[in-house]
């Protein structure tokens, strides 16, 4: 079974803090993704990566950066957390487009 794990299920941070969300997959997938999910807005793509050290902006990259130093790990970074970044963050990985595997999500609250 493919496993995508995320470092935390719940996280509470203060405004202005630097936040790291980690995602690890164990199936040697080339492509990895970060989404955020908010009520009424569905899933929105923040960043994705199709290879080590490669990254591409998604639909809402502002306020975020990413790092992919190893194939299995894709990190989402909030340089200076703000309250409007309170959300559910979902990581996913895949090889073929139709079978995208998601992690359990991290619910981040910024106070």
Interface residue list for other proteins (CB under 8 A) = 4, 30-31, 33, 35, 40, 42-43, 45, 48, 50, 58, 90, 92, 94-105
Tokens 């995320």 belong to which residue? 6
Strand boundaries in 1-111, DSSP class E: 4-6, 10-13, 19-25, 31-38, 42-49, 56-57, 65-70, 73-78, 87-94, 101-102, 106-110
Instruction: State in angstroms the smallest separation of the CB of 15 from other proteins.
Output: 26
- Distance in angstroms (rounded) separating the CA atoms of residues 86 and 110: 5
- Pick the closer one to other proteins by CB: 11 or 45: 45
Instruction: State in angstroms the smallest separation of the CB of 41 from other proteins.
Output: 8
Instruction: State in angstroms the smallest separation of the CB of 63 from other proteins.
Output: 20
Other CB atoms within 10 Å distance of the CB of residue 99: 10
- Pick the closer one to other proteins by CB: 68 or 94: 94
- Pick the closer one to other proteins by CB: 85 or 93: 93
- Pick the closer one to other proteins by CB: 54 or 82: 54
User: Cβ neighbours of residue 41 under 8 Å, at least 6 residues apart?
Assistant: none
Instruction: State in angstroms the smallest separation of the CB of 24 from other proteins.
Output: 14
């Amino acid at each position: 079974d493919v496993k995508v794990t995320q470092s935390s299920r719940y996280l509470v941070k203060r405004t202005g803090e630097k936040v790291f969300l980690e995602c690890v997959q164990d199936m040697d997938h080339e492509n990895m993704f970060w989404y955020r999910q908010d009520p009424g807005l569905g899933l929105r793509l923040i960043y994705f990566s199709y290879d080590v050290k490669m990254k591409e902006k998604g639909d809402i990259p502002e306020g975020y950066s990413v790092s992919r130093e190893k194939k299995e790990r894709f990190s989402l970074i909030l340089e200076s957390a703000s309250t409007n970044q309170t959300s559910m963050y979902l990581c996913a990985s895949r090889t073929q487009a139709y079978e995208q595997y998601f992690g359990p999500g991290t619910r981040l609250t910024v106070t």
